[in-house]
Structure 1
Amino acid sequence: MCAAFPSPHEAPAFVAGHGFFSCLTADGELLTLNRTRARQFIQEEAAPLVVHAPATARMLGIPPPGQPAPWFDLLELFAFVHPARPVAPTPRGLAIALGLGDLDGRRVEASALPDLAARLLTDLRALKNTPAHPFLAALATRLAQAGWIWSGAVLEALEITGPLSREAMQPGEALRIWDQLPKWEDTPRRPPPGSNPVTPAEARARLGQILGPDAETRVGQADFADVATHAFAPREGMGFPRVVLAEAGTGTGKTLGYIAPASIWAERNGGAVWVSTYTRHLQRQIEAETARLHPDPAVRRNHVVVRKGRENYLCLLNMEEAVNIAPTRGPGPVIALGLLARWGMATVEGDLFGGDLPGWFGDLLGHGVLAATADRRGECIHGACPHYQRCFVEHSIRRAQDADLVIANHALVMSQAAWAQSQGLPALELGDQPETAPEEAVPDEDGIPTRYVFDEGHHLADAADGAFALELSGLEAAELRRWLLGAEGSRSRARGLRRRLDDLIAGNPRLETPLDAALLAAKALPAPGWSARLWIEPPTDPSQTDKPEETAEVEDVTASLFPMAVPVQLVEPVIDNPTETLLRLLRDQVLARTVGSGPVRRNGSECDLHPMVPGLAEAADGLARSLSRIAEPLRTLVNRLEDKLREDTDSLDTATRARIEAMIRSLQRRAIGRLDGWVSMLTTFCTPPDEVGPPQFIRFIRLEAREGQRRGEQDVGLHQHWLDPTLPFAAVLAAPAHGLLITSATLRDETDTDQSAEAEQIWEAAEARVGASHLPSPALRASLASPFDYSRQTRVFIVNDVAHDDPDTLAAAYQALFLASGGGGLGLFTAIERLRAVQRRIAAPLEEEGIPLYAQHVDAMDNTTLVDVFRTETDSCLLGTDAMRDGVDVPGHALRLVAFERVPWPRPDILHRERRMHLSQGNPKLYDDRIARLRLRQAFGRLIRARNDRGVFVLLDRRTPSRLLSAFPSGVIPHRLGIAAAVEEIRTFFEGSE
């Protein structure tokens, strides 16, 4: 079996950079080649060793290899030997992950790769006498059948020399991990938590225990833990939560500062504290910090749970379907699913995105396999799923119900609050005490938390804005139609509502009748091919309705997994579809009101809803009636399903009852709630904004290219946002809670002030940004300064001779800055186009100097993986946008320069215009300045993460107004100078630290 595969033991090796190609021949000769010779080498040599084959191919300018790959990619072998272990996808990253230490020199030569391969195969041999061996043997055999290039070496290391015995696990069973994973067991619901407080002395003591006797003393950390205890004190009345606003400068150690009192409160009161953050990256960092609280991973798993939305997790039902059809699509999908199965048996959480699945997995093996196996389209059937008791999401939900700390993200927490609002939760008149407590009125699968910690609290308004907004667009409406009706004439895996419900309602007219009515009414939603029709005027002659339109490709999850099988669907023209009629009128209004000759500007086009073009109001009214005709029978169906649960209590088995309950929840969340929101928006469609006072909502129309659509097709939609999104956040989430700690390094606009009146205004503005001003009880305010000596550790330069609109000049400036720092540079951009333009110009010159360059929106890796690579390759540089400005923690020498291409002013769109007008307290200029200063503070905060760090912050914008410079810490004096002088100052600064 092994003889059919090439051997990696004597294979040549190849390492590629933007301008550096190191080759190790099969005879052991180490060569450095130019790009042309390197392409010739990779094409002539048989099965070379590489790290990250797709990235290697991109460096060479050749198409990436498919599967089965013709190259020995060490990352694939790592994924088989050490699944669910983080590793940066570079030779240096592999060496560190395998315990071989850092590789010498800036450039890693190809001669290092055989040692990495040998270590991986040695680690694999160590697994042959473990309980995992039967699974590994079966999986390796199945991968060999699919032609995986590593199969020969893997089977040899596992000592598999022939067919497996009948008693052993068979190759076909290896991919069926849903039969092998552990089941969760239901446990009784936790009683309501107690209200016993945590004293400051107890919090300080717990913090000391967590840190240990040898920990670095951080000024302010114990004070932070002291202040945080106020959020865990008993509340004095319903709707009067204890609120703490704590601004903690970078380096304060706020994570452990709030974990200390939170863990005491959870243990003492038998409840969970929900710790929420803005990014998945910071979720992972916070979870890592809890290892100090619970060093034993098994113990930590019982006390700390990470929660994300369902779309982040591996769906076992989707994986089963993908495995079943994979053999008909060739060997590539089998290899991808085989390595995914290897990870699935080893993962702790089952988290595909931001968890322990390497972020480079999709780039190597196809992003389609991840899209196909995640619950990306809201199709979860909950208790009806045959794998329900092994489901990763259900495991995490049940663990969260008994955990002490639940580490969530703002999106999940806000979506739960938005769901509560959509279910008719009374919007609290803050300070009132309704007869029914919100937590009793709206049960949730995770339970209703009473204590929250909001880390990265400066993003609360952004998260609330996304959660409480409404969008009625072609894509959203078409997705709902697909969820209701399933596949319509295409080879899609989409299951319609009838298919999911058929065995539960068949033969029951009370249930079949409302379902039939709803599905018939769902034809009012956009039909397949709607996006192409958006740009085609409907025929006016009814006789033309029998003429088929041109074909339109229908993208599907199966097509993304198996791109060779993209279905093509013939779509009949739709003449009187009320949703498409509205969409076309919305499109016409945008095109009529926006500036420019093209239909869509670079970042999309938008216009105000009022005044409306002729016919739009009537179309909205007609669509509202059509959507109601879908929602009402669905509501009737839900009511009758609930009746069935009550009436047939003695005859329904547990599985059927669970399916019905799950379907009720899905109907309410996936369909009824969305339809009700759209109807509500459309019924007030014609009401113009209040001309007397500020409006409650901002409504506008947006036309844009949507991700996932083909050939530049466009989507158009009506958008509704709260003018102040912290209002629903405060009413629905904050007011029902018992305590909230809202913390960030950048809650306030300025760092210091000697004017008490001005200081009060700054705090009031901070409270308004996080919604605390809408609560009846005053928040406890605290400000803890960073322990770092910024005047000694940093320099800030404003470069005044770089033309910001000239990409060549801008690229030259970045190149000079990165060379001056010797790498370790983070380049931040306010526009993706400028980032890409700079990357194209400087990647090769930097590589020639031994400085690898990575870039968000260029390199096919997720942000977490890019940051891991940047952290590992200490002399590399990284280009990024907003996601790299916030929440990136790279301590030490790996990050020593931050260069921002221009002042990060807010995007001048309709949302910003309206909020600037109504929320700026009469000073729109100050409103813009505040946003820019806070963004600059966030960017500067990436620079210094430890006491021994040294770094330089550069702003390449000669137009930077002096009033923004208070964004930098007290004692840091920005200097305005030319790029040449800045480069010299940077060299001198870093030479002085050596």
Structure 2
Amino acid sequence: MAEVPDVETLLETAVKAVGGTRREGQVRMADAVDSAIETEEHLVVQAGTGTGKSLAYLVPAIRHAMAEGTTVVVSTATIALQRQLIERDLPRLADALAPMLHRTPTFAILKGRRNYLCRHRLQSAGEEPEDTELFDPRQLSSLGRQVKRLHEWAAETVTGDRDELNPGVSDLAWRQVSVSANECVGASVCPFGQECFAEEARAAAGEADIVVTNHAMLAIGAMQGYQLLPEHRVLVIDEAHELVDRVTSVATGELSERSVSAAAKRAARLADPEVTDRLSETADGLTLMFAETEAGRIDHLPEGLAGAVRSVRDAAQGCKSAIGPPDEGDPDSGSVTDRRLALAALDEVHDAARRVLDSFEPSLRERSDVVWLAKGPKQPPTLNVAPLGVAGLLREKLFGDRTTVLTSATLALGGSFGPLSEQWGLGRESATDTPAAAVGDPDGPTGSDDADGSGDAADADSAEGEPRWRGLDVGSPFDHRRSGILYVAGHLPPPGRDGLATSYLDEITELIQAAGGRTLGLFSSMRAAEQAAQELRERLDLEILCQGEDSTGRLVERFAEEPGSSLFGTLSLWQGVDVPGPSLQLVIVDRIPFPRPDDPLASARQRAVGARGGNGFMAVAATHAALLLAQGTGRLLRSMDDRGVVAVLDPRLATARYGGFLRASLPPYWGTTDPAVVRDALRRLDAAASPAAG
């Protein structure tokens, strides 16, 4: 093709086309992405809110794809960003750049097979699931209506993509009309293979310049070796701060009475009863052992529970052997489907049981997996097995044979990319352009001298042959010190375990009263959010919205539309709220969001770092808290005109030895511990915003 203009020229054209203005951080990021692609060196780039990072990586990605006749993959963590890229950013970019690139850039979205309606499965989907007795009768009545609507939708949808179904349906209903990769009979056998939505999506992706996918797809491909994505040499991971959690979630196996019973019922259609009855009986054995086992992390597997899990593993293998592999040449495709569905369910319980048993074979210090039992009043007992870390997997599968750009508004924790780069398996950076670490007292509670808390373990990981990467922080166009105040309520007592203390409720009341509402309350637990909402409704004549009382999306809409309102909630609000303007001028954080002490995975990872000589608290708990705090406090400024206050009620942010590390992870707001200064500032902001709101 004709010579392609350079990245800065293309970016300038793109920015003008979308009505934007030149931003130095955006230009620096685009140049860095282009350089990373040229030099084949991985790039970690923090781009604060307002930088326009999507354009900064899409422009060089499109240029590379079209110049080289190849595909670039962009992975995100959230559906919201996927939609922004596919429905807004990429269409506008394609139109703007087409005249300079001599053809219109193409793009496609690709998700896991389970996200697409399966025409073959739809044909056999009745109004009830096969495992009827496992569900409440009221669930089944609703299920029938939902499946009927799915049949109607199937006649009109072009993509079969679940996200385009509005309103949506329950997971139970969707499972009746979709299949996983393991359950799919294959396009060559399926009678609907030529009109399969999932296959059409893959075909479109194979022809596109830019393919948008999600972190779960990356994880599945990395772990199982599937060629799910088109061939590509460049990968952009947006929302990279979520990568480890998303990959860990995909890599977690689960074993429950329901999953074993469901597998046995599927197998019963294809194997002798005496074989499948054995598997059904093991589900009962699991239930008995779960009742005798305390919830939480399991370091030593009790013999009774080990026997029950061993029985599941052996009985599932027996059913698999009795059924045999699906005969792909069988003209009776229904038989192939039944075998696929049964074997997929059997594989799931067999592999989870095997992983649980295998995880206990090494000594405690040498284990690579952690096992725990989760159960509660509203949660059926489930045995989980998850990797202690995914660094090795990511290093080999994501960074080994392609150039990867990792980006987010929040990557430099404690002023360094070190904490996250270690979790990704990148090790020490080969070059840097990051802010100087401002970690205050980085020793942490156990006296480590490393800001990231990894100690000697990190040095040991920095072996020759690790991926080469460069770090870059392009900052933010916002003037945080002039636009926002970070207030730490140093006069309050440390938070307790028995709900919010009266002094905390008094502080929240005074802050919201001064702000005239306009408050996003980010709480460490749903119990605390509900307690605060109930108490504040009695104290104030202002609208208090609380997560769980309506869909989160609708609550955020109401909060944005009603400037005098406040919205209280927990984890999803820490990262999922984007409300520019006077509706949000105060963010309250009730306590530093450390993982719960009894969190099985976090506590096991913390212990593992300590066993290698590092500071487990800093590497795991403080890093987790810093990431969430940075995300939560980043909710305040969402546009250039925004002003406001972030109020952290937990005094440990100001007084604890690890407080400097946490503060250095936050946007550089002007700081104070004086409540009078903050209340005066909030009253002025409320007075200035009220006429505009009116």
Report what 2:9 is aligned to: 205
Partners of 1:337 and 1:369 within 8 A in 2: no
Which one of 260, 278, 283 corresponds to residue 524 of structure 1? 278
Offset at residue 772 of structure 1 (A): 9.8
Q: Note if 1:462 corresponds to 2:254.
A: no
Cα distance change of structure 1 residues 410 and 872 upon mapping to structure 2, 3 Å threshold: farther
Report what 2:371 is aligned to: 700
Report what 1:828 is aligned to: 522
Offset at residue 779 of structure 1 (A): 0.9
Q: Note if 1:952 corresponds to 2:641.
A: no
Give distance in 1, aligned partners of 2:179 and 2:556: 25
Q: In the TM superposition, what are the counterparts of 1:934-973 in structure 2 within 5 Å? A: 934-962=627-655, 963-964=659-660, 966-967=663-664, 971-973=668-670
Which one of 410, 415, 422 corresponds to residue 746 of structure 1? 410
Q: Note if 1:790 corresponds to 2:573.
A: no
* 2:267 maps to amino acid: L
Report what 1:219 is aligned to: 24
Report what 1:36 is aligned to: none
Cα distance change of structure 1 residues 831 and 970 upon mapping to structure 2, 3 Å threshold: closer
Q: Which moved more, 1:908-917 or 1:801-810?
A: 801-810
For residues 54-83 of structure 1, what are the alpha-carbon distances to aligned partners after superposition, in whole Å with 9 as ceiling and x for unaligned?
A: xxxxxxxxxxxxxxxxxxxxxxxxxxxxxx
Q: Note if 1:916 corresponds to 2:606.
A: yes
Report what 1:777 is aligned to: 467
Give distance in 2, aligned partners of 1:872 and 1:318: 42
* 1:880 maps to amino acid: G
Offset at residue 762 of structure 1 (A): 6.1
Partners of 1:316 and 1:391 within 8 A in 2: yes
Offset at residue 712 of structure 1 (A): 4.3
Partners of 1:628 and 1:679 within 8 A in 2: no
Which one of 232, 243, 255 corresponds to residue 54 of structure 2? 255
Cα distance change of structure 1 residues 470 and 276 upon mapping to structure 2, 3 Å threshold: same
Give distance in 2, aligned partners of 1:375 and 1:810: 48
Q: In the TM superposition, what are the counterparts of 1:708-727 in structure 2 within 5 Å? A: 712=378, 714-717=380-383, 719-727=384-392
Offset at residue 224 of structure 1 (A): 0.4
Cα distance change of structure 1 residues 818 and 686 upon mapping to structure 2, 3 Å threshold: closer
Q: In the TM superposition, what are the counterparts of 1:635-654 in structure 2 within 5 Å? A: 636-638=324-326, 641=327, 644=329
Give distance in 1, aligned partners of 2:58 and 2:275: 51
Report what 2:684 is aligned to: 988
* 1:742 maps to amino acid: L
Give distance in 2, aligned partners of 1:817 and 1:463: 36
Partners of 1:702 and 1:716 within 8 A in 2: yes
Offset at residue 233 of structure 1 (A): 3.4
Cα distance change of structure 1 residues 454 and 940 upon mapping to structure 2, 3 Å threshold: same
Q: Note if 1:855 corresponds to 2:520.
A: no
Cα distance change of structure 1 residues 368 and 295 upon mapping to structure 2, 3 Å threshold: same
For residues 686-719 of structure 1, what are the alpha-carbon distances to aligned partners after superposition, in whole Å with 9 as ceiling and x for unaligned?
A: 52524xxx424233331314xxxxx8463131x3
Offset at residue 773 of structure 1 (A): 8.2
Offset at residue 812 of structure 1 (A): 5.5
Cα distance change of structure 1 residues 944 and 810 upon mapping to structure 2, 3 Å threshold: same
For residues 729-774 of structure 1, what are the alpha-carbon distances to aligned partners after superposition, in whole Å with 9 as ceiling and x for unaligned?
A: 2223332x31111112222212342789x9x9769979979x9989
Alpha-carbon RMSD across the aligned residues, in angstroms, is 4.4
Secondary structure of the residue that 2:628 maps to in structure 1? helix
Partners of 1:617 and 1:685 within 8 A in 2: no
Give distance in 1, aligned partners of 2:437 and 2:379: 55
Report what 1:734 is aligned to: 399
Offset at residue 402 of structure 1 (A): 1.6
For residues 327-386 of structure 1, what are the alpha-carbon distances to aligned partners after superposition, in whole Å with 9 as ceiling and x for unaligned?
A: xx999999878877787677664443xx3444xx35xxx858954765388865564666
Q: In the TM superposition, what are the counterparts of 1:82-231 in structure 2 within 5 Å? A: 202-212=6-16, 214-231=19-36
Cα distance change of structure 1 residues 869 and 411 upon mapping to structure 2, 3 Å threshold: farther
Give distance in 1, aligned partners of 2:124 and 2:479: 57
Cα distance change of structure 1 residues 772 and 521 upon mapping to structure 2, 3 Å threshold: farther
For residues 626-684 of structure 1, what are the alpha-carbon distances to aligned partners after superposition, in whole Å with 9 as ceiling and x for unaligned?
A: 333234455x525xx36x49xxxxxx7xx96xx899888767755446634533542x3
Offset at residue 961 of structure 1 (A): 4.0
Offset at residue 281 of structure 1 (A): 2.2
Report what 2:354 is aligned to: 679
Give distance in 2, aligned partners of 1:339 and 1:586: 38
Cα distance change of structure 1 residues 373 and 989 upon mapping to structure 2, 3 Å threshold: same
Give distance in 2, aligned partners of 1:580 and 1:338: 34
TM-score (norm 1): 0.56
Aligned residue pairs total: 632
Which consecutive unaligned segments of at least 5 residues does structure 1 have? Answer: 1-195, 236-241, 421-441, 486-495, 499-515, 528-576, 591-604, 646-651, 706-710
Partners of 1:230 and 1:243 within 8 A in 2: no
Q: Which moved more, 1:262-271 or 1:343-352?
A: 343-352
Q: In the TM superposition, what are the counterparts of 1:22-41 in structure 2 within 5 Å? A: none
Give distance in 1, aligned partners of 2:517 and 2:352: 50
Give distance in 1, aligned partners of 2:164 and 2:537: 30
Secondary structure of the residue that 1:637 maps to in structure 2? coil
Report what 1:404 is aligned to: 209
Partners of 1:278 and 1:455 within 8 A in 2: yes
Report what 1:268 is aligned to: 67
Partners of 1:790 and 1:969 within 8 A in 2: no
* 1:679 maps to amino acid: R
Offset at residue 945 of structure 1 (A): 2.1
Report what 1:889 is aligned to: 578
Which consecutive unaligned segments of at least 5 residues does structure 2 have? Answer: 129-137, 416-434, 443-448
Q: Note if 1:806 corresponds to 2:516.
A: no
Give distance in 1, aligned partners of 2:70 and 2:463: 27
Give distance in 2, aligned partners of 1:249 and 1:454: 16
Report what 1:689 is aligned to: 363
For residues 911-967 of structure 1, what are the alpha-carbon distances to aligned partners after superposition, in whole Å with 9 as ceiling and x for unaligned?
A: 222211222553234333333222211111121122212121111223434424524
* 1:855 maps to amino acid: C
Partners of 2:605 and 2:616 within 8 A in 1: no
Report what 2:235 is aligned to: 452
Secondary structure of the residue that 2:91 maps to in structure 1? coil
Partners of 1:587 and 1:703 within 8 A in 2: no
Give distance in 2, aligned partners of 1:381 and 1:608: 38
Offset at residue 618 of structure 1 (A): 4.3
Partners of 1:381 and 1:663 within 8 A in 2: no
Report what 1:306 is aligned to: 109
Q: Note if 1:286 corresponds to 2:90.
A: no
Secondary structure of the residue that 2:217 maps to in structure 1? helix
* 2:60 maps to amino acid: P
Cα distance change of structure 1 residues 763 and 836 upon mapping to structure 2, 3 Å threshold: closer
Report what 1:839 is aligned to: 533
* 2:521 maps to amino acid: G
* 2:108 maps to amino acid: V
Report what 1:64 is aligned to: none
Give the fraction of aligned pairs with identical amino acids, expressed as a percent. 25
* 2:239 maps to amino acid: E
* 2:618 maps to amino acid: L
Offset at residue 408 of structure 1 (A): 1.6
Give distance in 1, aligned partners of 2:414 and 2:379: 44
Offset at residue 902 of structure 1 (A): 1.1
Cα distance change of structure 1 residues 351 and 254 upon mapping to structure 2, 3 Å threshold: same
Give distance in 1, aligned partners of 2:310 and 2:176: 39
For residues 118-170 of structure 1, what are the alpha-carbon distances to aligned partners after superposition, in whole Å with 9 as ceiling and x for unaligned?
A: xxxxxxxxxxxxxxxxxxxxxxxxxxxxxxxxxxxxxxxxxxxxxxxxxxxxx
Partners of 1:282 and 1:887 within 8 A in 2: no
Offset at residue 453 of structure 1 (A): 1.0
Cα distance change of structure 1 residues 304 and 373 upon mapping to structure 2, 3 Å threshold: farther
Give distance in 1, aligned partners of 2:198 and 2:634: 34
Partners of 1:826 and 1:897 within 8 A in 2: yes
